Amino acid sequence: MTEKFRREGDAPKGSSPSPRQPLRSLLKAHSVAGQVFVLQLALVVLLVVAGMLALVFQARGALAQEARQRSVVGAEIFAHAPGILAAMKSADPSAVLQPQAEAARKGSGVDYIVVFRPDGIRWTHPDPRLIGKRVVGGSYRPALRGRAFTSTIPSALGPAVNTVVPVVDRNRSIAGLVSVGIRVQSTDERVVEQLPLLLGFAVAALLLVTVGAVLINRRLRRQTHGLYPAEMRRMYDHHDAVLHAVREGVLIVGSDGRLLLANDEARRLLDLPDSAVADRLPVSDLGLEPRLGALLTAGGEVTDEVHLAGDRLLAVNVRPTAPYGGPSGCAVTLRDTTELRAVSGAAEVAQERLKLIYDAGLGIGTTLDVSQTSQELADVAVPRFADVVTVELLEPVLRGDEPESGSGTGLRRMAVRGVTEDSPVYQVGEVLRFPPGTPMASSLESGYPVFVDDMSTSDEWRGQDPAATRQILDVGIRSVIAVPLQARGVVLGLANFWRSAASGGFTQEDLSFAEELAARAAVSIDNARRYTREHTLAVTLQRSLLPQALPAQSALEVAHRYLPAQAGVGGDWFDVIPLPGARVALVVGDVVGHGLHAAATMGRLRTAVHNFSALDLPPDELVNHLDELVSHIDTDEARAAGGAAGEGDPADDEAAWPGVSSEADAVRPEGGRTGITGATCLYAIYDPVGGRATVARAGHPGPALIGPDGTVTFPEVPVSPPLGLGGSVPVETAELTLAEGSRLVLYTNGLVEDRDRDIDTGLELLRTALASDTERTPEQTCTAVLDAMLPEHPSDDIALLVARTRLLDPARVAEWEVPSDPAAVARIRSACLGKLESWGLEAIAFTTELILSELITNAIRYGAQPIRVRLLHDRALICEVSDGTSASPHLRRAATTDEGGRGLFLVAQFAQRWGTRYAPGGKVIWTEQALDGGGPEPGPESVDDILDQWDDVPTM
**Contact between 546 and 600 (Cβ < 8 Å):** no
21-36 burial, b if ≥16 CB within 10 A, otherwise e? eeeebbebeebbbbeb
Least confident of 528-537, 599-608, 653-662: 653-662
Give the span between the Cα atoms of 695 and 708, in whole angstroms: 20
**Contact between 743 and 778 (Cβ < 8 Å):** yes
What count of Cα atoms within 13 Å lies in the side-chain half-sphere of residue 547? 23
- Give the pLDDT score at 342: 58
- Give the pLDDT score at 956: 34
Q: For helices 759-770 and 778-789, what crossing angle results, to 10°?
A: 140
Residues 6 or more apart whose CB falls under 8 angstroms from that of 84 comprise 78, 97, 100, 115, 167, 178
- Check pLDDT > 90 for residue 695: yes
**Contact between 641 and 673 (Cβ < 8 Å):** yes
**Contact between 532 and 400 (Cβ < 8 Å):** yes
Range of 132-146, 420-434, 547-561, 681-695 with top mean pLDDT: 681-695
pLDDT tier at 779 (50, 70, 90 boundaries)?
very high
Give the span between the Cα atoms of 425 and 443, in whole angstroms: 19
**Contact between 590 and 797 (Cβ < 8 Å):** yes
Residues 6 or more apart whose CB falls under 8 angstroms from that of 763 comprise 714, 752
Range of 138-152, 673-687, 720-734 with top mean pLDDT: 720-734
pLDDT tier at 422 (50, 70, 90 boundaries)?
low
Instruction: Return the higher-pLDDT residue of 291 and 505.
Output: 291
**Contact between 339 and 501 (Cβ < 8 Å):** no
Give the span between the Cα atoms of 210 and 520, in whole angstroms: 59
- Check pLDDT > 90 for residue 620: yes
| Average pLDDT score over residue span 156-168 | 80
Average pLDDT, the chain: 78
Give the global pTM. Answer: 0.53
- CB neighbourhood size of 11 (10 A): 10
- Check pLDDT > 80 for residue 778: yes
Tens digits of per-residue pLDDT, 483-500? 998 888 888 888 989 888
- Give the pLDDT score at 348: 67
Q: Terminus-to-terminus CA distance in the chain, angstroms?
A: 150
- Check pLDDT > 80 for residue 892: no
- CB neighbourhood size of 510 (10 A): 20
| Average pLDDT score over residue span 195-202 | 70
Instruction: Return the higher-pLDDT residue of 757 and 666.
Output: 757
Least confident of 216-220, 545-549, 708-712: 216-220
- Give the pLDDT score at 893: 64
Concatenating the DSSP letter of every residue in 901-932 gives: --HHHHHHHHSSEEEEEEETTEEEEEEEEETT
Give the span between the Cα atoms of 509 and 451, in whole angstroms: 11
CA dist 822 to 817, 831, 889, 953, Å? 13, 15, 19, 10
**Contact between 687 and 613 (Cβ < 8 Å):** no
* CA-closest candidate to residue 706, choices 753, 776, 765: 776
Cis-peptide, bond into residue 383, ω within 30° of zero: yes
- Check pLDDT > 50 for residue 937: no
| Average pLDDT score over residue span 772-786 | 87
Range of 14-28, 111-125, 643-657, 695-709 with top mean pLDDT: 695-709
Give the span between the Cα atoms of 306 and 314, in whole angstroms: 5
* 873: helix, strand or coil: strand
Tens digits of per-residue pLDDT, 845-869? 888 888 888 888 888 888 888 999 9
**pLDDT more than 70, % of the chain:** 77
Residue type, 4: K
- Check pLDDT > 70 for residue 810: yes
**Contact between 183 and 198 (Cβ < 8 Å):** no
CA dist 912 to 846, 879, 905, Å? 15, 12, 13
Bridge partners of residue 706, in order along the sequence: 712, 743
pLDDT tier at 680 (50, 70, 90 boundaries)?
very high
What is residue 130's DSSP assignment?
G
Cis-peptide, bond into residue 396, ω within 30° of zero: no
- Give the pLDDT score at 580: 92
Give the span between the Cα atoms of 190 and 58, in whole angstroms: 13
Tell how far CA 588 is from the center of its chain: 25
- Give the pLDDT score at 280: 82
pLDDT tier at 624 (50, 70, 90 boundaries)?
very high
Instruction: Return the higher-pLDDT residue of 274 and 423.
Output: 274
333-365 burial, b if ≥16 CB within 10 A, otherwise e? bbbbbeeeeeeeeeeeeeeebeebeeebeeebb
| Average pLDDT score over residue span 389-400 | 85
| Average pLDDT score over residue span 757-782 | 87
Least confident of 23-27, 124-128, 391-395, 602-606: 23-27
| Average pLDDT score over residue span 379-383 | 85
Residue 607 falls in which region: left (phi positive, over 0), alpha (psi -120 to 50) or beta: alpha
Instruction: Return the higher-pLDDT residue of 142 and 559.
Output: 559
Classify burial at 37, counting beta carbons within 10 Å of its beta carbon; exposed 0-12, middle 13-18, buried 19 or more.
buried
